[in-house]
Structure formats: C-alpha cells, structure tokens
Chain A
Amino acid sequence: MPTLQEIALKTTGADARIVSGHRMCSGCGIGSIIKTVLAASDKPVIVVSATGCLEVVTTIYPFTAWNTPWMHVTFENAASVASGIEAAYKALRRRGKIDEDVNILAVGGDGGTYDIGFQALSGALERRHRFMYVVYDNEGYMNTGNQRSGATPFGANTTTVPAGKVSFGKPQWRKNLVEIAAAHRIPYVAQAAVNNTMDLYKKAQKGFNADGPAVLAVLQPCASNWSFDSSLTIQYSKLAVETNFWPLYEIENGIVHINTKPSNRRPIEDFLKGQTRFRHLFRPGNEHVIVEMQKMIDDEWARLLKLEESGIQF
C-alpha cells in the first residue's frame, strides 16, 4: 500500500492520467476523486464519462485534461458505452489485434447514475462486464445549478423542489445505490468520501482488481451549490462521515464491512449548518424535519451495523 505522499506523486506531473488546466470550480473535489481513483490502477485505464461536471470541465475543445484514453457520448449511457468497450476489448484480444491489458472505468455524477443512467448501469452490472463504475455524488444536478436528483437528501432545498411557505424541500430520502448495486451480486461495491484519500484509493484498487463489475459511490460536497466556502469541501465530507450521514463501508463478495465507525456520532445539525440548501431547516416550524432526518440516519446506521454483524451474504 503506497503512502499518501506516494499517491500524491502518482497524481501529479506530466505522467498523471489527468492533468491540471481543467476548469473545475474552486473547492471542487471531483479532481481529487478522479485522480485518486486513476492512480489506483496498475494498468492503463480507458475512461468513459457521463455528461456532467467532470466531462464539461475536462474537455472543452480544443483542450483536454485527459492523458489516458477517454470518451463521452451522452448523459445516461456511461455504463452501456463501457459495456461496448469491454466487449471490443475481449474480441480484439481474442483475435490477437491488441495485447495490452487495460482497466475500464465509467464515471458519472449522481444524476447520470441514480436517475437517468440507472437502467444502463443495472444492465451492465447484470451482464457482469469487467469494469468499475464510479459515481461522484454531489447530491443533485450541480453542474446545472442545484436541481433535485434521486440522490438529493431529505429536506434539501433545490431549484426544482424548493423550500417555500408550504414546502420544506425534498420530502423523500435518497435511493440506496450501494445496496441496489450489491443486489446485482457483483464482487465489489463500496461507499467512500473525498475527505479520506487512503480509503478511496484502497477501494478503487479493490474495484479495479475485482473479477467482475465494481461500483464505487463517492461523496463530493459541492461548494458552488451546497453553497459553502470553497475551503470547506473536505470539512463537509468529513462531517458527513462523522454524523453517519455518509458511512464509509464496502460490500465485498456480498459481505458488509464498515470501514469507519465514529466513536462519538455527531448530530446531523453539524453537517447541515452553513449549507444554503439546508438553511431553511433552522427556521421556526421546520424543527421536525431535522428530528426526522436524525432518526432516519440513526435507523439506517443501526441497520448497517446489523448487516455487518450478521455476516449474511448480500
């Protein structure tokens, strides 16, 4: 296992698989996520991006930040495009047209994954293509200015489900993508967050080395649309983990393992405070929303602990 410094060295310089000069917002963690994931592959990586932040900021023609083969087609099809690349890879290897050993990586935001790309992802997992799918989850359509997605948390204010006189924002909890992916009985699924590079690196390595598809969901607090100071991205990611809002865990061959258990779970308010999307929850009349959110988080955490303790295979 390389040290943090060694990982950092792999992600910088002219040989890095993604290089500087992209147009990510200040404070955006997508760059850290993708660099860490790419550094975890010991083989060349073919990358497919869904339409979204990463695609937009890395490729404005005639420039590209990609120093590794990269492609993009549409919003919802990263997983099916990756299926085709994997099929081509198998066919061309079998026919002796290529001999390089590669990893295939599909990357999308939560909109391109939980919502519009959900069917393509499920199909690709069911067909057991050998590829890793990484979702950088910023909990909504952040590239286009904070619209609601299936990953948006309960109580959040978005432009498509705004908080108002008779609304406290999103009335539903988010989908559990990790468990849905695990229900496909694939070898590796994990949840990671941008604040914990070592954990993310290890998980990406396991995903690349899995004998079959792997899914990695990575929390990516969005300074621009969760509206916090751009110096606080890592801090918010850390708070999401410490409040159990975003537990770090993995499901390896169906067995649940929680990577980090906060010794003293912080109240959810610590995570909510300072984010514009949750500001309305601190106004009189919305106290019940925070109470409900806290209960959901605690219930989910208790459930996850039981899953781990039971040792029952997913």
Chain B
Amino acid sequence: MGVRKAITGAQAAAEAMRQINPDVVVAYPITPQTPIVEEFAKYVADGIVDTEMVPVESEHSAMSATVGAETAGARAMSATSSQGLALMWEVVAATPGLRLPIVMSLVNRALSAPINIHCDHSDVMGVTTVGWIQIFSENAQEVYENTLLAIRVAEDNRVQLPVMVNQDGFITSHAVEPVEIFDDALVQKFVGVRSLDRALLDVEHAKSVGPLVLPNYYFEFKRAQEEAMSKVFEVYHEVGTELSAITGKQYPFFEAYRIDDAEAVVVVLNSAAGTAKAAVDAMRAQGKKVGLLKPILFRPFPYAEVREALKDIPVIGVLDRSMDFGACAPVYSEFRNALWELERRPAMQSYIYGLGGRDIMTTEIEAVFEELLSGKLDPEHQRYIGLRG
C-alpha cells in the first residue's frame, strides 16, 4: 500500500522522477509542462534528490544534452510540450536511432498556429513515426505509474529505445487528484540502476557513437530499430507484471471498459477516456450496451490485441484530439488498420473533438453513442464534436 497524496498530473510525473532519482535531468520550461520542471528543481534545491539538473536555453538543447548524458552512461530524463517538442524534433528523431532509453514526459498541448496553450494531441501525433515508444495516461495516477514502467521498458536490453509518457495539458497536468504513491524503497528496487554497459564514459572501451552511415548500411540500422520496437510488447508485459506486485494493478496495452457485450464502442485517448467512462455508465444504466476502448500503448501499436478485443463489436466510433489534414485522423487510422483483417468488419466513424483545449462533455459522448447505435454514419467524412456551427 502506498500513501495517498492530493497532487496534479505534473506533480505525479515529478513524484515518479523523485523516486527514480535520475543521474541527469535536462529541461527547458514550457506551459503546461513547467510545473514538472519546477517541482523537480525544488527536489534538487532541497537535496531530496542528488540529480545533476541542467536548465538549458532551449528545447533543442534540452534533448541534445539529454542525449549526451544518456550516451555518456547516465539515466537522463526530460519533459516538454507542444512547441518545445516541435523545436527538439530533430534530436527527438535521432534518439531512437542512437538506441538511447530516455524517458520524457510529454504534457500534450496544441501546436501553433494559432498559438494555444491548452490540450490537444497535435504535438505527439507529429512524432509517432520516428520510433519513440508512446504511452498515454488517463489521469495523474497513471502518469505516475506509467513513468516508472517506462524506465524499465526503455532500458531493457531487448528494447533500448526512448519513451514518451503522455498526459493531457492542464486537464491532467494542473488538476489536483488523489494519487497513491508507493513505497520509495520498493519503487527504487523496481527501477534499479542503469547499466554502464554502453557508456561513452567507459574510456577503457572507446566507442564511436553516431557515425555517418551510407546506403550500404543505413537500411539495416533502421530494420534493427524496428526489431527492437517489436520486442516492446513482451517487455511491457513482463515489466507490467513486476510493477503489479507493488501496485496491485494490471498494465494492459489498452483498457477495455464494459465492451464484452457492447453494441457500440468508443475509442479515445488520455483524460477524455475518464469522461467517456461516465458516459458509458450513464447509458448502461439506461440499458444501452455501449463500451470504451482506451489505448495506453500507442507505439508500438498492438494491432492483433485490438483486433481480438473488438472483433464482435458491430460499430465503433474513434475520437481524435488532433487532425491529419487531408487524411484520416491518426487514432482512427490505426483502428481502421487493426480491424481490416476481420472477416466481419465493424462500421466505423471518425470524430474530431477538443482541439485547442475545448472541453468535451459526457452528454456529447452520449450523443456519439446514440449516433453509432442509430447507424446514421458517414464513413467518408470525419465528424466534429462541439464545433461552432
């Protein structure tokens, strides 16, 4: 059993980092990620952790210095949002190729323009193709546990890839919730210490990291990276089982909420899944058979497991908090792909909601369920929830 604390999602990320006590934390502040950095900086100032903290002059340098520290042999962490992620994109994209198990908090925020500091997923959806493991969190509790899980998944020898732990800007990062923080000693035993096997600072075994690789080998490097990504499922499962011994919880690739006999299912990431659960409960109370699928592990994407979970569902609505302009929305695309192999494919509808931090209400999700159940779908066009007319 842990201790229950009333903290925000940002503080939950910082709490996990406090327990991890990384060798190095590098960050540049950006709304709404700032409270993670501030909270952690206080731990450093008060000697609660003995991490070397590097407050850099930009996000590009934040990821660069994190990469330098991690290559040197440190366990290094960072955190960012939106524009910050966009600025560090070049280095973010280089990180998986360098096979660096960096864990970074991403507090999801809309991407400019127009500038907006509130939540949507346009930041993360711009980096899902570069090779980071992506984990999503519904609430502060999940932020905390996913951060601990991420360290072990990233550093596993079969993986050696970076992880972003996502949480919704403001909705999760700034809202106070009860969070159960588990025993420091147990958590520290679980996260362990990073091995120095690959450390650049091991000067006795000089290595050249990040060489120029021409067409004769580049392709093989990328294939090896994909191979490592495919190992994430088994590692995630094993590490999740280990973490369960401390938390008593399960760590599935996605959460299936009341979908067993469902006639319509909604798919939605992060905090809106909590809202969707309330909508499901309200409709179930009216005798309507509806359910929710909340993706957690989004990269790598668990196609087979998703297919198995949804194989008997007649109609599915996928809610995206970002758009892929001129193409299918990103979460919707994955679910369409996952379900293609089914003999009896479900009817599907794409919805866009909540861009730039617009709230989504239980009543709006209930309306989505009613629409799905009514069969009045338009698969050729995405629909918009809560958009001005």
Taking each of A84, A90, A91, which has the highest tally of chain B beta carbons within 10 Å of its own beta carbon?
A84
CB atoms of B201 and A46 under 8 A apart: yes
Closest residue of A by beta carbon distance from B98:
A73
Does B137 lie at the interface of the complex (its beta carbon under 8 Å from any beta carbon of A)? Answer: no
Q: Which of A74-82, A178-186, A235-243 contacts B (4 or more CB under 8 A)?
A: A74-82
Asked whether, in the complex, the Cβ of B73 is within 8 Å of the Cβ of A80, the reply is no
What are some 7 contacts across the A-B interface (CB < 8 A)?
Answer: A80-B68, A81-B67, A84-B26, A95-B23, A119-B61, A120-B58, A127-B56
- Cα separation A32 to B198 with both chains bound (whole Å): 30
Query: B209–A90 contact, CB under 8 A?
Result: no
In the bound complex, residues from chain B placing their C-beta under 8 Å from that of A120 are 57-58, 60-61, 64
A70 touches B57 (CB 8 A): no
Beyond A73-B64, A88-B72, A97-B196, is A102–B203 a contact (Cβ under 8 Å)? Answer: yes
Q: Name the residue in A70, A74, A91, A120 with the highest tally of chain B Cβ atoms < 10 Å from its Cβ.
A: A91
Given A66-B208, A80-B68, A84-B66, is A90 in contact with B57 using a C-beta cutoff of 8 Å? no
A8 to B50, CA, bound (A): 43
- Complex-state Cα separation, A185 to B76, whole angstroms: 29
> Is B268's CB within 8 Å of the partner chain A?
no
Neighbouring A residues of B202 by C-beta, 8 Å: 69, 98
Closest-CB distance, A116 to chain B (whole angstroms): 10
Q: Provide the residues of chain A in CB contact with B55, threshold 8 Å.
A: 127
Assess the B68–A85 pair: CB atoms within 8 A: yes
A71 to chain B, nearest CB (A): 4
The answer to whether B64 touches A80, judged by C-beta atoms less than 8 angstroms apart, is yes
Contact, CB under 8 Å: A83 / B91:
no
**Taking A62-B217, A73-B98 as contacts, is the C-beta distance between A46 and B212 under 8 angstroms?**
no
Contacts from B to A (Cβ < 8 Å): 23-24, 26, 50-52, 54-58, 60-61, 64-74, 76, 90-91, 94, 98, 196, 199-203, 206-214, 217
When distances are taken between beta carbons in the complex, the residues of chain B under 8 Å from A88 are: 23-24, 52, 68-70, 72-74, 76, 201
A46 touches B90 (CB 8 A): no
Whether the pair B206, A123 counts as a contact (CB closer than 8 A) is no
In the complex, whether A171 has a CB less than 8 A from a CB of chain B is no
Interface membership of A67, Cβ < 8 A? yes
Given A46-B201, A120-B61, A123-B56, the answer on whether A84 and B68 have CB atoms closer than 8 Å is yes
A122: which B residues are within 8 A, CB to CB? 57
Stretch from A53-61, A159-167, A203-211, A220-228 at the B interface: A53-61
A97 touches which of B60, B73, B94 (Cβ 8 Å)? B73
Q: Which chain A residues lie closer than 8 Å to B64 at the CB level?
A: 73-74, 77, 80-81, 83-84, 120
Q: Would A91 and B24 count as touching, CB distance under 8 A? A: yes
From A60, A73, A87, A102, contact of B210 by CB (8 A): A73
CA distance A119 to B57 in the complex (A): 8
CB distance from A126 to the nearest CB of B (A): 7
Q: Tell me if B209 and A71 are in contact (CB < 8 A).
A: yes
Number of A-B contacts (CB under 8 A): 174
Whether the Cβ atoms of B212 and A56 lie closer than 8 Å is: yes
Q: Is the CB of B206 within 8 A of A61?
A: no
Asked whether A74 lies within 8 Å of B58 as measured between CB atoms, the reply is no
In the complex, what residues of B have CB within 8 A of residue A87's CB?
Answer: 24, 26, 52, 54, 65, 68-69, 74, 76
Task: Output the residue of A67, A80, A81, A85 with the most chain B CB within 10 A.
Answer: A80
Residues in B whose Cβ lies below 8 Å from that of A62: 217
* Residues of chain A within 8 A of B206, CB atoms compared: 66-70
* A94 CB within 8 Å of chain B: yes
CB <8 Å contact, B67 and A84: yes
Interface of A (DSSP majority class)? mixed
- In the complex the two chains form, what is the Cα distance from A44 to B61 in whole Å? 25
The 9 closest A-B pairs by CB, nearest first: A84-B68, A123-B57, A84-B65, A59-B211, A88-B72, A88-B74, A80-B61, A77-B64, A81-B68
Are B61 and A72 in contact (CB-based, < 8 A)? Answer: no
One of A60, A66, A80, A102 near B214 (C-beta < 8 A): A60
A64 an interface residue at 8 Å Cβ cutoff? yes
Does A61 lie within 8 Å of B214, measured CB to CB? yes
- Flag whether A141 is at the interface (Cβ < 8 A): no
Looking at A73, A122, A123, which has the most chain B CB atoms within 10 Å of its CB?
A: A73
Q: How far is the CA of A60 from the CA of B211 in the complex (A)?
A: 6
For residue A89, give the distance in angstroms from its CB to the closest CB of chain B: 6
Does the CB pair A102–B201 fall under 8 Å?
Answer: yes
Residues of A within 8 A of B208 (CB): 59, 64, 66, 70-71
What CA separation (Å) do A69 and B201 show in the bound complex? 7
State how many angstroms separate the Cβ of B54 from the closest Cβ of chain A.
Answer: 5
Q: Is A77 a contact of B52 with CB atoms below 8 Å?
A: no
What distance in Å separates the Cβ of A160 from its nearest Cβ neighbour in chain B? 22
A143 to chain B, nearest CB (A): 11
The residue of chain A having its C-beta at the shortest distance from the C-beta of B214 within the complex is A60
What is the chain A residue whose CB lies nearest that of B28? A123
Residues from chain B with a CB closer than 8 A to the CB of A76 are 60
CB-contact partner of B94 in A55, A56, A74, A98, under 8 A: A74
For B50, the chain A residues whose CB sits under 8 A away are: 91, 94-95
Pair B65/A81 contact, Cβ less than 8 Å: yes
Using A70-B208, A98-B201 as known contacts, list a sample of 6 further A-B pairs with CB atoms less than 8 Å apart, ordered by residue number in A.
A73-B91, A80-B56, A85-B69, A88-B52, A92-B72, A127-B55
Q: Using Cβ atoms and an 8 Å threshold, which residues of chain B touch A46?
A: 72, 200-201, 203
Residues of B with C-beta under 8 A to A85: 68-69, 71-72, 200-201
Cα–Cα distance between A71 and B18 once the two chains are bound (Å): 29
- Give Cα A39–Cα B76 distance, bound, in whole angstroms: 31
* Contact between A89 and B72, CB atoms less than 8 A apart: yes
What residues on A are CB-neighbors of B207 within 8 Å? Answer: 69-70
Residues in chain B near residue A126, CB distance under 8 A: 57
